[in-house]
Amino acid sequence: MRRVGKSTLLLQIQEELLSQGVQKEQIISLNFEWLEFESLKEYKTLYEYIESKKIEGKKSYVFLDEVQEVEGFEKVVNALNAKDDTEVFIAGSNSKLLSGELATYLTGRFYTIEVLPLSYKEVSEGFSKSEDVFLDYLRMGGMPGKFQFEEERTAKNYLMDMYQSILLRDIVKRYNVRDVDLLQRFMSYLINNIGQIFSAGTITNYLKSEGRKLSKETIYNYIEAAKSTYLVHGVPRYNIKGKELMKTNEKYFINDLGIRNLYFNNEKDIGQALENIVYLELRRRGYEIYVGKYDDKEVDFIAVDGEMTTYIQVTYLLAEESTIEREFSVLEAIDDNFPKMVISMDRVNRSRNGIVHKNIINFLLED
């Protein structure tokens, strides 16, 4: 996503190379949002420039940031990648750089790193009052750029600017969206209902009540556009008993809760917000994630890592007996030996019948 820290990551990789003894002259670094590289946005010119900077007999490390600004960049990357004397690193915010599409552009070997906003563990480093820091994280998210502002109002202005850039530049412009107001209303609905079962019929009825019409085809086009910019993530549902993926009613989660807090109150909707935080953490840890259905009950997350599966329930507090029963009983009903876990804000350990209960802050601080 925009401003999530990709450029910083490229710089850190360069620093790592230098610390390992690579000479500065071996690193060729270009950012195509910078005006001084405007003349290199033609792919042949770019290729010739890079070749002219190489040192004969030594390996070159080429860094191309916001590479989607170069029309035909894949030709340059493929040509460089074919040579044994060059290692190429590319980064960008455009949907053209999604891993699924990269396979069609690039030949040979490549490895994709998904950069998410900062985790709670990263944000909390150096602070002792972890619960206060956690509440700020729940409200304002983990976009790196927001931490340069001390006042919450200024940080919100920063996040609003970023969100509008994603809508207007990455979605409206790229996907030729004509009705911008309708797109904004749709996104508002989607962001408000994170962690809820989504159906096209529900949102159609909602917009109809506001005097607006939106076809199912357009709804799914908007969703794909939002997913392609990493604004939201879709999570498919899995029938645990039937052992099959369900074709409808995905859940959606936002890439950063600070964006949701521009329009809605994350503390008021704390159950949804906690679920979103756990989802992003599972994604950071590399799990394949599903929403579970077991008879008429829901399992918040099925986290798959190779042959290991973990079932996870997320709730605010286990204060009422009815809440405890709801969260634990569905996991107790699943008849297999995979780990099962309930995550909440409680400090008291409520583990029972082999199901582990974890405080969410402790969970997020784990390695």
Residues 6+ apart with CB under 8 A from 239: 245, 246, 293
CA distance 159 to 255: 12
Q: H or E element: which one contains 359?
A: strand 356-359
Residue spans of the domains in the chain: they are 6-105, 120-365
Beta bridge partners of 244: 239
Q: Supply the pLDDT for residue 104.
A: 73
Q: Are 108 and 78 in contact (CB under 8 A)?
A: yes
Beta bridge partners of 62: 28, 88
Q: Are 221 and 209 in contact (CB under 8 A)?
A: no
State mean pLDDT over 50-79.
Answer: 94
Q: Supply the pLDDT for residue 58.
A: 96
Q: What is the pTM of this model?
A: 0.92
Mean pLDDT across the chain:
93
For residue 257, give the DSSP letter.
H
CA distance 355 to 343: 11
**Strand ranges for 209-355 from DSSP E:** 232-239, 244-254, 288-294, 297-305, 308-314, 340-344
State mean pLDDT over 330-334.
Answer: 97
Q: Supply the pLDDT for residue 127.
A: 77
